[in-house]
A = this chain, B = another copy of it.
């Protein structure tokens, strides 16, 4: 039997590339020594049918293409240096729609104070945007440099986007987070002097925890600390969705997930939400509000677009 790429999944394909290249750092971005500092570079491709909900505007599509790349800089604590844009669009797309995408890209570059350095266009059957974000950082945060006993924290609420993807109404915090996410760039730059490790939550909390897990270390997350609102639970329930599933397995929040010592947490000058701690259990667990403890499953991230 001949194996298809779908038989092994995207994460395994990336692992194959990493295993065969001697130069790749398996972290959120590439890190290249450069004089007294480090060049941070990252490249992410977004494809219309997979990454953009149908109700997302062209402007928001452009903005998000920058956000997903800048979010990787944020995860390293890097100062933005520049952004490169490669965009492919269907030839029958309206010129105004194209201009809206570019407007979104430019507004995002302005918002994150990252100059748009170059642009390239192409033709494809759907919208494909590949961005490259470049940054500088003297001391980039790695994914797995946490210590036993560190606290686990996030820069904001998680799960909002996950719920937003399920809703058709426009004017609420969930849909706003789903359609107009913002990268935590400034927070990342502050965190690099306080956190022991960091990554951004694109593929869901569970997936990111498995991504950063190292042998002999475990994580205990506390449902209570996730501070899920009654409204959130109610809406999920009305949609016949499990609210913990949404919180743990969807992602797209672009919040930072980081670890920090108790002492540094007290000094941290930005808001954050502690959600758990690094343990020696070697497993990833969740203490439910009712006191029961269960394993968090390593479910691959699921796109909101139905297959």
A-to-B contact residues, CB < 8 Å = 2-8, 10, 13-14, 16-18, 20-25, 29-30, 32, 34-35, 39, 41-45, 47, 50, 81-82, 84-96, 98-99, 102-103, 106, 109, 115-126, 128, 130, 132, 134
Write the chain B residue with the least CB distance to A48: B124
Which 5 A/B pairs are nearest by Cβ-Cβ distance?
A: A30-B117, A23-B115, A130-B130, A17-B119, A6-B91
Could you tell me the distance in whole angstroms from the C-beta of A37 to the nearest C-beta in chain B?
9
Write the chain B residue with the least CB distance to A8: B95
Partner of A117, one of B8, B20, B24: B24
Q: Which residues from chain B contact A116 at a C-beta distance below 8 Å?
A: 17, 21, 23-24
With A5-B95, A24-B119, A94-B2 in contact, do A128 and B128 touch (Cβ < 8 Å)? yes
The answer to whether A30 and B89 have CB atoms under 8 Å apart is no
The answer to whether A16 and B99 have CB atoms under 8 Å apart is yes
Q: Which residues from chain B contact A44 at a C-beta distance below 8 Å?
A: 86, 120
Could you tell me the distance in whole angstroms from the C-beta of A119 to the nearest C-beta in chain B?
4
Instruction: Tell me the bound Cα distance from A85 to B124 in angstroms.
Output: 19
The answer to whether A92 and B32 have CB atoms under 8 Å apart is no
The answer to whether A117 and B32 have CB atoms under 8 Å apart is yes
The answer to whether A47 and B130 have CB atoms under 8 Å apart is no
Write the chain B residue with the least CB distance to A27: B118
With A30-B117, A93-B4, A120-B14 in contact, do A41 and B84 touch (Cβ < 8 Å)? yes
Instruction: Tell me the bound Cα distance from A25 to B116 in angstroms.
Output: 10
The answer to whether A91 and B42 have CB atoms under 8 Å apart is no
The answer to whether B6 and A41 have CB atoms under 8 Å apart is no
With A30-B82, A91-B5 in contact, do A20 and B132 touch (Cβ < 8 Å)? no
The answer to whether A2 and B96 have CB atoms under 8 Å apart is yes
Partner of A124, one of B8, B123, B128: B128
The answer to whether A95 and B4 have CB atoms under 8 Å apart is yes
Q: Which residues from chain B contact A30 at a C-beta distance below 8 Å?
A: 82, 84, 117-118
Instruction: Tell me the bound Cα distance from A95 to B10 in angstroms.
Output: 11
Q: Which residues from chain B contact A122 at a C-beta distance below 8 Å?
A: 10, 45, 47, 50
Q: Which residues from chain B contact A87 at a C-beta distance below 8 Å?
A: 45
The answer to whether B119 and A45 have CB atoms under 8 Å apart is no
The answer to whether B39 and A134 have CB atoms under 8 Å apart is yes
Write the chain B residue with the least CB distance to A92: B4
Could you tell me the distance in whole angstroms from the C-beta of A85 to the nearest C-beta in chain B?
7
Partner of A29, one of B8, B106, B118, B121: B118
